[in-house]
């Protein structure tokens, strides 16, 4: 530890150190908040609803393979982010790291890309909440419900990270309990203990299964699975408002792999055992057809007739959680840009509760605009927004991995010891390298359908690839205007706002009991 502290003293004397402390947000998130936020980001409509489309498109084995590999990829993304976020726990997280460890223009593009991605997500889920309420009260216009949910989400974000963490804790807890109960019921149903039918692997042996449409079908589901996991990186953003990030972030990240395995992979596996891929209801698995979610189909086969109402309530908590998180994340992304001088100085103002108030105002206005486009405008335009947002998520993950590669190289070149890191990502460099190549492949391969057939589909092509130039334009524009350059590895600032300078301790080498390890999973 002394080596790191001494190295930090030298770094403070480096005149090229242009970063200043941005410890203006309040550190109010507790360990239990961080743990639930980590898993809350991995359970949403991608599992509750879109898993049905995945099963229909690729079959039980294809969908299981896609979700399993995607889970491994996102695990390496998360551990890479955790290593950086625990060493330098700031609110901007990987948006700021991209600026500091790669190039200011890269950080600019990553941050605005992430801001756009989550502001669209927030709007999508607010609209979805109105559609879900229509299931129970069809006589009331969904627009009114969406307006109410929008006001609730804005209100919650006014009160800083502590209320956000508390709300996310309880909403995530509901989702976790629901999935655990589903896994128990699904296991009993698949084995014939309840429902009267022992399914075994019979649905893996029907015509066309277990892999449907071969390579093309599975590739398409990799995209669905990747979209489903978007949001896991929230834990990196919240490190800047954690009471003890060097302790709490590693705890939350270490449990991610097992939670993905238990909650996502096992759920997809059970659905594939019980529901045949050619069930016509699976093709209708969108947010407007929640009553026939694949999880509902399983519960109905178990004899639970109230399944549609139960699942509707659970999915409502998911979209509320996603809408709340979306506005929280866009606010922090814009704030990090302003702190770094890439936005108006006015946006750096923080309320007494620790909320970047003007960043929240802008995020709320844009969210309201996108909601309006969906509710009363041209729906096709909004579909394009959502498509580009999905690509933005993949680009963010790719950016995290590239930034992490630069961080680790700079850390070693500048003489720091890995023993001084609060958290060390495993399987370096092979795990992050595999994940980076995989994500680039998915980004490039996702529009393959536009090339299939006798006629080129320009609409599908643009929906698949428009996100790439939307990332490159701010990157090239900022580089051209500001004349930025790739930061040399030996000049990368590893001192400002690192965990020691903020007064935190390295708890990595403290012993943990078997009980602690088991409890971290749940």
What does the pLDDT look like over 471-487, one tens digit per residue? 999 999 999 999 999 99
Helix axes 245-254, 51-87, angle to 10 degrees: 150
State pLDDT tens for residues 106-142. 999 999 998 988 888 888 888 888 888 887 888 898 8
Mean pLDDT of 344-364: 90
- CA 299/CA 333 separation, integer angstroms: 40
For residue 8, the model assigns a pLDDT of 45
- CA 501/CA 487 separation, integer angstroms: 22
For residue 181, the model assigns a pLDDT of 93
Mean pLDDT of 88-101: 86
The dihedrals phi and psi of 211, each to the nearest 5 degrees, come to -105, 120
438 backbone φψ class: left, alpha, beta (φ>0; ψ -120 to 50)? alpha
Q: Is the pLDDT of residue 32 over 80?
A: no
Mean pLDDT of 15-35: 59
- CA 121/CA 56 separation, integer angstroms: 25
For residue 505, the model assigns a pLDDT of 65
Cross-strand partners of 242: 29
Report the sign of the C-alpha dihedral through residues 80, 83, 88, 92, in that order. positive
pLDDT band at 409 (very low <50, low <70, confident <90, very high): very high
Mean pLDDT of 234-241: 72
* 2-16+34-521 CATH: 1.20.1740.10
Question: What residue spans define the domains of the chain?
Answer: 2-16+34-521
Mean of all residue pLDDT scores within the chain: 83
Q: Is the pLDDT of residue 280 over 70?
A: yes
Using alpha carbons, list the distances in angstroms from residue 444 to 69, 70, 409, 436, 440: 17, 16, 27, 13, 6
For residue 120, the model assigns a pLDDT of 86
């Amino acid at each position: 530890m002394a080596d790191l502290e001494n190295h930090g003293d030298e770094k403070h004397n480096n005149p090229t150190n242009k970063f200043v402390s941005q410890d203006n947000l309040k550190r109010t998130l507790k360990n239990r908040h961080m743990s639930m936020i980590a898993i809350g980001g991995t359970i949403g409509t991608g599992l509750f609803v879109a898993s049905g489309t995945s099963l229909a498109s690729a079959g039980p084995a294809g969908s299981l393979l896609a979700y399993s590999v995607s889970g491994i990829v996102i695990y390496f993304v998360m551990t890479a982010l955790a290593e950086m976020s625990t060493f330098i726990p700031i609110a901007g997280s990987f948006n700021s790291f991209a600026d500091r460890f790669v190039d200011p223009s890269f950080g600019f593009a990553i941050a605005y890309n992430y801001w756009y991605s989550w502001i669209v997500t927030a709007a999508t889920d607010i609209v979805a909440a109105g559609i879900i309420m229509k299931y129970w009260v069809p006589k009331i216009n969904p627009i009114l419900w969406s307006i109410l949910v929008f006001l609730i989400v804005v209100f919650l974000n006014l009160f800083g990270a502590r209320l956000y963490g508390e709300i996310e804790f309880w909403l995530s807890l509901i989702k976790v309990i629901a999935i655990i109960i589903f896994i128990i019921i699904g296991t009993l149903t698949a084995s014939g203990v309840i429902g009267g039918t022992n399914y075994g692997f019979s649905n893996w042996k029907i015509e066309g299964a277990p892999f449907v449409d071969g390579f093309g079908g599975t590739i398409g589901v990799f995209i669905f699975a990747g979209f489903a996991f978007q949001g896991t990186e929230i834990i990196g953003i919240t490190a800047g408002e954690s009471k003890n990030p060097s302790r709490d972030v590693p705890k939350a990240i270490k449990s991610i792999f097992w939670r993905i395995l238990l909650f996502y992979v096992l759920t997809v596996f059970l659905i594939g055992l019980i529901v045949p891929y050619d069930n016509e209801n699976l093709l209708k698995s969108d947010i407007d057809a929640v009553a026939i979610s694949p999880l509902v189909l399983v519960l109905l086969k178990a004899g639970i007739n109230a399944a549609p109402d139960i699942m509707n309530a659970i999915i409502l908590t998911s979209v509320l959680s996603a809408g709340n998180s979306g506005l929280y994340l866009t606010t922090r992304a814009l704030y990090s840009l302003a702190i770094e001088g890439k936005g108006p100085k006015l946006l750096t103002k923080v309320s007494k509760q620790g909320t970047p108030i003007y960043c929240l105002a802008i995020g709320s206005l844009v969210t309201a605009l996108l909601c309006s486009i969906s509710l009363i405008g041209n729906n096709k335009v909004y579909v394009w927004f959502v498509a580009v947002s999905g690509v933005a998520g993949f680009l963010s993950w790719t950016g995290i991995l590239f930034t992490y590669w630069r961080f680790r190289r700079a850390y070693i070149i500048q003489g720091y010891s890995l023993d001084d890191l609060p958290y060390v990502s495993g399987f370096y460099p092979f795990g992050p390298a595999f994940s980076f190549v995989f994500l680039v492949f998915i980004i490039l391969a996702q529009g393959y359908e536009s090339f299939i057939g006798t006629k080129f589909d320009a609409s599908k092509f643009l929906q698949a690839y428009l996100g790439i130039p939307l990332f490159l334009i701010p990157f090239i524009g900022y580089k051209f205007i500001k004349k930025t350059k790739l930061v040399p590895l030996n000049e990368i600032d590893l001192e400002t706002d690192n965990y020691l300078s903020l007064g935190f301790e390295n708890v990595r080498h403290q012993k943990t009991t078997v009980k602690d390890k088991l409890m971290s999973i749940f």
